Structure 1
């Protein structure tokens, strides 16, 4: 009996200790998490969150654009997400004459809603555990000891066979996605429906939606209204369809109720979304590798590119608009890499990892099982062997692939083949195809002088980190023909290359020749980059040959050890729908420093700097603040809440995620993490990791009072217990983090 009681105590303790850590599969909630969530404060059963046989909150959470999360907030398909998630679409519709990035955009009628080319919204219809089925299929595979168990192509064919066997109806827009979890120890099939007619409805000006920009990014306290709104359109039968003026707003099966009641410190909360990637099952050697390769290159290469870009963006509004989304995307994970490396050192994460791996190795020895030790030794050897190739690959990727837009020149393979054949019809067809591709290319790089400046900076940065004898092949030409002057080489590219300017291309396409293609600087440069990426991939593929099998064994060992200790388990993030839960809590990042759990508009006013584009405040927002004209969205003390933090386990991809209160009502939208918590992708620390969220009341205030778009508020479902329900601000203990 004592042993049983001790086991129950340890299990309960383990669940409590780890309650805030985890990106949980919705299919496991009832079995693994419901008790712990209820003890923390959840007031609804988990089948109201996820119900495989009915409608639940999950059915109002969507994958926005493939890289963010959104939530449906009206019966007519209105979707709320982050401003930075909608940034590309806002930029798509912006011009110097209609600068929606600077001025914001609000559709005052359905007719004014703007179609967004290429933007999609995806629902998750079903989540099925198909582990047994996949394992049975793998037994009959032609290469049962190969790596098909992780191959997207192979798993896609298995998904099709499963759908056929189970009579899963493939309606318009429906897709199957079968993914491996826990290193290939489990498999889940996601049945999805994607809508492609998505229209922009509203976005605040960047001075609200990106207030604080790079300076405040990944920091707390925050004062940004990081939100934007879109609408899902479908055909008249409610089915996914390409854009058509006759399409209608989607009549959704579930939309969220919005709470105006606020939150207290310690209130339970949960978040649903599509976290992108994390690496909780890494060994310490892999963490060091990440710090010294991927994070190092993101830090230093992007820093150089962003400085060059920003200098030009500040000179010209057209340049600013064109590069705005690219710059924001680059800057986001530039600062992430810096903060992660700093945090990994400060929090001694390597020591934590070493302790975890030693615990598993000790368990293996106690069980007379040497498989964990073999897997561990193999992973360490692989990491050591592949590190030089990974370092070089990241340098090429950051400086020459991601860093150089002008290297997206069209391919010439079809024309080369046609010229060799001397077939006039083939040559004419290839010329026409290349002309179309070239027109698209030149439209995508409208500022060649900016490209030239960035190109020079990127080549010098690449040369700084890669020794001469290891550089890609184009540098032999640079050394021989240009005496090592990379600036002169870039100038030659833009002056003489086929794709250097429209005039050069026009002359070439009139009379194309193999000699011109084979000696063209830009073409040779692109081939050299491609060859460099291929060679480093080959080098790493050789080193990585046995990595997946070893990693699968290692992860299985970690899973078994956790379960033996009474701990729930969860897989690494992989852009699939997850739930994470915790509380609204302040935190202390350093001795003598205390951060409250919410901010108000007063803090934004204190940060205002009219001479710094990151901290400009719109005149109308200042007027509303000075008049205290916050309507029903204000706190009891008359202040306007802006942002708050929760200790949930979030990562990239959770941007735009709905933040729920204990009753399952929407209280905010997740948009960022704090700087001290950037190590969370590798090791979660609930004491220091926080997710930053826009208070839904600030979102509604901006829509209603600032934009005057009350018609949007009227189509939402709002809930409130009293005229001024929020307890925030009632006492000194609730001083905001201004």
Structure 2
């Protein structure tokens, strides 16, 4: 019997490998023309108008950009919003204290009054979009420098945005596509009164931690819930007790039937950035210079944060969000290095560019395209070492709070010194508030270690490109040990405490500010980071023009057939199917396209930071207390796989069936296809999703918050 079952599984596993993943992050306004028929063949039952409509409610009205970096969806008539746990992480961390740690313990509001408002959180609704390519490109010509071109385009963008914002009611964004060969404008409406409804405990929401991040099989309750509030007329409004839950134009019904291999799945969301037109030289630069520096700098920051996070729950909260963000990209960039190297992506691109070069040097094309590849390669050759340098410095800026103090709090103090008495009186309270917010999110002993460690890494590893003058001087004087200098700088600096900031405001001095050691060091690094030689500036100008021509020529010659634009945080649709990976002994599931609560419990390690579980989960699983959310096979499905084309920014995106019903929540990709931001792999590309039934089980059965599930429209 066992042999028969194994043979059956093996046979099933052959099916996915013969299927083709559907590449593309598509504009909703072109679905009817480009994708609708193909989607119908795969299982879509909606019309294009039901997905995107300007005049009627449609799926797009239920999808929001969440706080500028993730995606979320409306799932009730009363403005209930679902997104990922890691997307709501900052807000939950802000609302947590050492005594009432919502991140660690979880939280579910028993009623509307118990919903909690973070200081700054917004959702952005997409209203409409339109093509403005002809209008913008009419303002430029080939004789312009890139700076002149940018100035002309920005002037026209400003006019378009003003024409469409209806006196400030809407946010309008004009974005370039296909490397500046096309332009579209997007109209949005922002709601800023967004409150926490609930979040599972961190042991579920981050189960697997860094070890499982970007990996499959996965067993994570990566979700959190919020609610959007509006004024009594449904308009955006600042926080007020008088605000009421938003009544959205459309919200998603929730399907409890589960998924099986080959089921249609589409995802709507705000993918952050892909670079699928990137030249071979850019890929080589990232793999050999930029990303290794990113990885090393991120790891240095993580190690120094972790040292303090382990000391107490309070310090863990201070750095939890920054650590999580750093760790996520640390593993992502290492995965990119490995995947791009393994699959020879640069060679694939180089072969494409060789074909382009032949086409470009035909007599009819030479004048326009003949120098394109040469200019692109010259730029990368000139900037390889600079890219390494810049990534070490960027990680210093990202992981320390004082590397960029010159352009944050320092900039405000500089403006304060130069202001008259009346202006000073007006802005002083704002500066104090800014300082207090900043210092709540740092711990000075940790910041000293972070800054000293990152300065040493930067000074000793950025050897191929000249480092910031002040860093070089301090390093030479101290044998590249920055500990003593940093400790002394914090003792002397006005930026080492809120009290010192207040004292400076009471008795401001330009000389004191200019000579402040932390302020001077930050300004020195920022100035150096933003500077470039005339040679690099010229090469960058030529590169920008040539990259645009490369994309134009690749499309014109049909050497490349990418029909969708790169992701750039605008709303896109991607479609595919539920699709397994080859059988994996680590997964107890019958088919390797889903995981179960049994599998999660098997990973359980008591007291482990990444794999601990609430005792209640273990007990409920033992008794098979899955309620109405059990699959027909009797297990509780936790996560599942689809072959949708997504990237960062899609976190929190709804996974929908052919009827537009919610079946899951996208939260990750698989590390084997980490090159997907540059080149799509139809065999390996997968999206990892939370099964919506597991989400509801955590809320209703595990957490006892059935009143929240009762808000939703559940369908079989």
User: TM exceeds 0.5?
Assistant: yes
Change (3 A) 1:412 1:463: closer
TM-aligned CA deviation for residue 52 of structure 1: 3.5
| Per-residue CA distance 1:382-434 (angstroms, 9 max, x = gap) | 111222322222221112x112113454655676688789x877887787776
Task: Give the counterpart of 1:662 among 655, 658, 662.
Answer: 658
8 Å CA contact 1:138–1:144 kept in 2: the answer is: no
Task: Give the counterpart of 1:288 among 284, 288, 291.
Answer: 284
8 Å CA contact 1:148–1:154 kept in 2: the answer is: no
Q: Secondary structure at the match of 1:556?
A: helix
Change (3 A) 1:95 1:415: closer
Deviates more, 1:425-434 or 1:97-106: 425-434
Q: Secondary structure at the match of 1:293?
A: helix
TM-aligned CA deviation for residue 544 of structure 1: 0.8
8 Å CA contact 1:669–1:696 kept in 2: the answer is: yes
Equivalent positions of 1:38-437 (< 5 A) are: 38-138=40-140, 146=147, 148=149, 153-160=154-161, 162-163=163-164, 169-170=166-167, 172=169, 174-364=170-360, 368-370=364-366, 371-399=368-396, 401-409=397-405, 411-412=409-410, 437=434
| Per-residue CA distance 1:459-508 (angstroms, 9 max, x = gap) | 22112312398221223542466464311111112222222345655665
Unmatched tracts of structure 2, length 5 or more: 1-17
TM-aligned CA deviation for residue 559 of structure 1: 2.2
1: CA distance between counterparts of 2:598 and 2:506?
63
8 Å CA contact 2:699–2:705 kept in 1: the answer is: yes
1: CA distance between counterparts of 2:266 and 2:666?
11
8 Å CA contact 1:408–1:441 kept in 2: the answer is: no
TM-aligned CA deviation for residue 543 of structure 1: 2.8
Name the structure 2 match of 1:578.
Answer: 572
Q: Secondary structure at the match of 1:614?
A: coil
8 Å CA contact 1:150–1:184 kept in 2: the answer is: no
Matched, 1:489 2:491: no
Deviates more, 1:466-475 or 1:39-48: 466-475
| Per-residue CA distance 1:605-647 (angstroms, 9 max, x = gap) | 1111113110010112112111111111101222100000111
2: CA distance between counterparts of 1:431 and 1:69?
36
Change (3 A) 1:699 1:342: same
TM-aligned CA deviation for residue 375 of structure 1: 1.5
Q: Secondary structure at the match of 2:620?
A: helix
2: CA distance between counterparts of 1:76 and 1:675?
37
Name the structure 1 match of 2:13.
Answer: none
Q: Secondary structure at the match of 1:693?
A: strand
8 Å CA contact 1:412–1:434 kept in 2: the answer is: no
8 Å CA contact 1:200–1:229 kept in 2: the answer is: yes
1: CA distance between counterparts of 2:680 and 2:297?
27
Change (3 A) 1:459 1:115: same
Name the structure 2 match of 1:647.
Answer: 643
8 Å CA contact 1:274–1:653 kept in 2: the answer is: yes
| Per-residue CA distance 1:102-145 (angstroms, 9 max, x = gap) | 00110110111111221110111111112222233447x99697
Task: Give the counterpart of 2:615 among 601, 619, 623.
Answer: 619
What is the RMSD computed on CA atoms of the aligned residues? 2.9
Matched, 1:32 2:22: no
1: CA distance between counterparts of 2:602 and 2:688?
19
Name the structure 1 match of 2:633.
Answer: 637
8 Å CA contact 1:704–1:713 kept in 2: the answer is: yes
Matched, 1:710 2:706: yes
8 Å CA contact 1:212–1:224 kept in 2: the answer is: yes
Change (3 A) 1:17 1:718: closer
1: CA distance between counterparts of 2:567 and 2:460?
34
Change (3 A) 1:585 1:479: closer
Change (3 A) 1:517 1:719: same
| Per-residue CA distance 1:243-274 (angstroms, 9 max, x = gap) | 11100000111001111111111112111100
1: CA distance between counterparts of 2:336 and 2:152?
30
2: CA distance between counterparts of 1:468 and 1:517?
33
2: CA distance between counterparts of 1:121 and 1:413?
29
Change (3 A) 1:590 1:616: closer
8 Å CA contact 2:24–2:645 kept in 1: the answer is: yes
TM-aligned CA deviation for residue 451 of structure 1: 1.1
| TM-score, normalised with respect to structure 2 | 0.90
2: CA distance between counterparts of 1:420 and 1:367?
60
2: CA distance between counterparts of 1:150 and 1:583?
44
TM-aligned CA deviation for residue 82 of structure 1: 0.3
TM-aligned CA deviation for residue 671 of structure 1: 0.2
Q: Secondary structure at the match of 1:47?
A: helix
| Per-residue CA distance 1:127-170 (angstroms, 9 max, x = gap) | 1112222233447x99697554588843531313653xxxx745
8 Å CA contact 1:285–1:380 kept in 2: the answer is: yes
TM-aligned CA deviation for residue 40 of structure 1: 2.4
2: CA distance between counterparts of 1:451 and 1:286?
34
May I ask how many residue pairs the two structures share in their alignment?
694
TM-aligned CA deviation for residue 373 of structure 1: 3.9
Change (3 A) 1:28 1:420: closer
Name the structure 1 match of 2:4.
Answer: none
Equivalent positions of 1:476-515 (< 5 A) are: 476-479=472-475, 482=478, 484-502=480-498, 505=501, 511-515=507-511
Q: Secondary structure at the match of 1:187?
A: strand
8 Å CA contact 1:44–1:664 kept in 2: the answer is: yes
| Per-residue CA distance 1:664-694 (angstroms, 9 max, x = gap) | 2111000000000110000010201111000
Task: Give the counterpart of 2:525 among 526, 529, 535.
Answer: 529
Q: Secondary structure at the match of 2:261?
A: coil
